[in-house]
């Protein structure tokens, strides 16, 4: 799993491959998103516990999009290089470079999604600016939880 470190919010992520699955989602579409993530992660060869890790992390990001990113988002899901990838994009903007790297305060009801993703995935990369935010998750086939 990824070491906890500040994020480079200006990271320049390469575009996902053209063959990737894309799902525009809102609150009512989260089940479909989770099913597609599970299907892709399984097809790539992730073990069932790692499939679950990626599904939970992707679901947390999608919920963040619904709550904080304008109510909708775009999930892009693909496999390659012995890994499964999920990218969630929305209209929101992240300004805290340490978002998701600090353990959330248990007394606060929000602020756990990116922290959970960081705990469950091998890599979490954030690109955020005036045009919106993209968060990319990677879980490798051979990497242990």
Q: What is the pTM of this model?
A: 0.87
Phi and psi at residue 87, to the nearest 5°: -120, 130
The answer to the question of residue 13 being in a domain is no
The answer to the question of residue 65 being in a domain is yes
The answer to the question of residue 7 being in a domain is no
Number of neighbouring beta carbons within 10 Å of residue 16: 19
More confident residue, 59 or 9: 59
The answer to the question of residue 40 being in a domain is yes
Check residue 3 and give its pLDDT.
44
Residues 21-57: pLDDT tens digits?
999 999 999 999 999 999 999 999 999 999 999 999 9
User: Element (H or E) spanning 135, and its range?
Assistant: strand 132-140
DSSP string, 83-122: EEEEEEEES-----TTTTTSPPPTTSSS--HHHHHHHHSS
Of 24-38, 40-54, 81-95, 105-119, least confident by mean pLDDT is 105-119
The answer to the question of residue 99 being in a domain is yes
Residue recorded with tokens 């390469």: 14
The answer to the question of residue 126 being in a domain is yes
More confident residue, 50 or 97: 50
Q: Which band of pLDDT confidence, cut at 50, 70 and 90, is reported for residue 110?
A: low
Structurally, the chain folds into a number of domains equal to 1
70 has a pLDDT exceeding 60? yes
And the tokens for 97? 């470079």
The answer to the question of residue 134 being in a domain is yes
The answer to the question of residue 5 being in a domain is no
Q: Which domain holds residue 34?
A: 21-140
121 has a pLDDT exceeding 90? yes
CATH number at residue 120: 3.30.565.10
Q: How far is Cα 123 from Cα 129, in angstroms, rounded to an integer?
A: 20
Check residue 142 and give its pLDDT.
80
Count, residues in the chain:
145
List of residues 6+ apart from 28 with CB closer than 8 A: none
């Amino acid at each position: 799993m990824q070491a906890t470190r500040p994020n480079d919010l200006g990271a320049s992520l390469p575009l996902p491959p053209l063959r990737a699955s894309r799902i525009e989602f809102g609150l009512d579409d989260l089940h479909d998103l989770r099913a597609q993530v599970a299907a892709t992660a399984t097809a790539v060869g992730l073990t069932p516990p790692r499939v679950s890790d990626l599904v939970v992390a992707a679901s947390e990001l999608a919920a963040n999009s619904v709550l904080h990113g304008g109510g909708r988002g775009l999930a892009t899901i693909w496999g390659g290089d012995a890994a499964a990838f999920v990218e969630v994009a929305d209209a929101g903007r992240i300004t805290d470079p340490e978002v998701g790297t600090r353990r959330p305060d248990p007394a606060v009801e929000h602020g756990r999604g990116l922290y959970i993703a960081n705990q469950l995935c091998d890599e979490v990369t954030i690109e955020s600016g005036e045009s919106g935010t993209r968060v990319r998750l990677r879980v490798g086939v051979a990497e242990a939880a």
